Amino acid sequence: MTSTIERIAPFKNEVIKTFSDPADAEKMKAALAAVRARFGEHYPLVIDGQKVETEKKIRSLNPANPDDVVGLTSSASKEQANAAVEAAARAFESWKRTTPQERANYLFKAAEMMRTRRFDYDALLVLEVGKSWPEADGDIAEAIDFLEFYAREALRYAEPHPVVPMEGEQNEMVYIPLGVGAVIPPWNFAGAIMVGMTAAAIVTGNTVVLKPSSDSAIIAAWFVDLLHEIGVPKGVVNFIPGSGSVIGDLIVSHPQVRFISFTGSKEVGLHINELAAKPQPGQKWIKRVVAEMGGKDSIVVAADADIDAAVEGVAVSAFGFQGQKCSACSRAIVDEKIYDEFLDKLKARVAKITVGDPSDQKTYMGPVVNEGALKSIGEYIEIGKKEGRLIAGGKRVGEKGYFLEPTVIADVAPDARISQEEIFGPVLAVIKAKNFDHAMEIANNTEFGLTGSLYTTDDKKIERAKEDFFVGNLYFNRKSTGAFVGAHPFGGFNMSGTDSKAGGRDYLLLFMQAKTMSRKL
């Protein structure tokens, strides 16, 4: 007899659209107009399947033109956050008894629905967080990939797990869900990460309170509506936008919450980890925290590298989506033998980057996400000008949207602040290394360990980097961004997180616990 998993087509990544096909470009323009026509729409909380309006609202603004209110969500109070956790706890009692096949089918259906609405979701990301068209489509393609991948993974985990046979006993081990999870995603992969974290939690039989980032709450509202549209039972996913410090802390420390799935900054991740560690009255478990956090990612360029390829890889890794990826290259570590040539070529390449409104198909770099980001990145640029030599960018573009030039600061010391702290914007530090050993030493000198890349034509250097370059995702002769679900299980070491691998075969284990049963014969 074939198992369910064997009857399902093998997982395949979605193809990311380049929009070079004029038909795709036309559809995208129509979708942008359709999303604009919905500007100002209001999205309530969803608690136990009921829509709940609040007086207090969160406004999600278009960073390219902050006068545009992309949408408003209700903002959950402490009482409503408590109600959401209680609803999730009630729903868990029946949801945990559904079969993995049933739960996987919801993910397959959700993937199908997202495919049919792909251009609308793409357009929403362009307008809500300032992604260029291909970046937005990459984000939605990844969201669909997570749904398809985790559905198959849940079916795989539902298969029998071999245990060593023992005479006189019948033994088995199964994976069961944990309980209620607080799902707290960031705004930067507002589609993919929000969908992936939610999907992984529910397909394994848990129920969820989803607290989106205030900068990207509308896409989360769309997705929660989609889940209810396809019949996910009420209470399984509860939607509570709200302040991190008020309801974030509350859901993290709530005694009925069994686990927290968080992606975001190191500071907030560490705070959550600490809060979750303290047992509350009535709490019966040690909470599990899955925290995927920041990065300070390096691309090392060895003396023997193909310099043109390295320049291209550094430029797209540093400035794609304005450098607002946890995997973005924020440090290029370049061998002194090719340093000057590399810098000249990089400067010329960066000069070609277009900055502007991402709803225009020709734009490569859009705005940074909000006013706070504009200010803090601006402060780092000022620090960087003192710590090194500004060779490109450095200024704001225009006055209305939150646009910044792609900025390159050369001759930066390995221990300078802009070499060490996550800036999360279009700012690249270039560091000169004496030789390959020195470059490797610099590459490992931060507290993070998320992604890294090495450009070289020397296999020995590749072997050395495999041993010593301490990052969760290491690439050779390619950019440091653009991990694909299944192909590049993603997540970092050290202060980059709790060593999980989203989109990998062991990810769903983080949302389950194993139960062993032995029957005497």
Residues with catalytic annotation? Answer: 292, 326
Of positions 47, 302, 326, 329, contacts ligand NAD by CB under 6 A:
326
Q: Which amino acid is at 195?
A: V
Nearer to ligand NAD, 89 or 209 (CB): 209
For residues 210 and 56, the answer to whether their CB atoms sit within 8 Å is no
Least CB distance to ligand NAD at residue 187 (A)? 5
- 207-226 positions binding ligand NAD, by CB under 6 A: 211-213
* Residue 191 binding ligand NAD, by CB under 6 A: no
Interface region with ligand NAD, contact rule CB under 6 A, candidates 24-32, 263-271, 339-347, 358-366:
263-271
For residues 519 and 169, the answer to whether their CB atoms sit within 8 Å is yes
**Residue 352 CB-density burial (10 A; 0-12 exposed, 13-18 middle, 19+ buried):** exposed
Interface region with ligand NAD, contact rule CB under 6 A, candidates 17-25, 286-294, 354-362, 413-421:
286-294
* Residue 322 binding ligand NAD, by CB under 6 A: no
Least CB distance to ligand NAD at residue 249 (A)? 5
Q: Which amino acid is at 137?
A: D
Name which of 33, 100, 188 is nearest 512 in CA terms.
100
* Residue 496 binding ligand NAD, by CB under 6 A: yes
* Total interface residues for ligand NAD by CB under 6 A: 33
Nearer to ligand NAD, 98 or 498 (CB): 498
* Residue 504 binding ligand NAD, by CB under 6 A: no
Q: How far is CA 257 from CA 82, 92, 252, 285, 410, in A?
A: 10, 11, 7, 9, 47
* Residue 378 binding ligand NAD, by CB under 6 A: no
* Residue 252 binding ligand NAD, by CB under 6 A: yes
Of positions 187, 239, 339, 380, contacts ligand NAD by CB under 6 A:
187
* Residue 268 binding ligand NAD, by CB under 6 A: yes
* DSSP class per residue in 127-190: HHH---HHHHHHHHHHHHHHHHHHHHHHHHHHS-------TTEEEEEEEEE--EEEEE--STTT
Give the number of other Cβ atoms within 10 Å of residue 275's Cβ. Answer: 17
Look up residue 147 and give its two tokens: 């749904």
- 436-455 positions binding ligand NAD, by CB under 6 A: 450
Nearer to ligand NAD, 257 or 307 (CB): 257
Look up residue 108 and give its two tokens: 């397959």
Name which of 304, 333, 298, 339 is nearest 438 in CA terms.
333
* Residue 473 binding ligand NAD, by CB under 6 A: no
How many whole angstroms separate alpha carbon 243 and alpha carbon 109?
A: 31
Binding positions for ligand NAD, rule: CB under 6 A: 184-189, 193, 211-213, 244-245, 248-249, 252, 263-265, 268, 271-272, 292-295, 326, 422, 424, 450, 491-492, 496-497
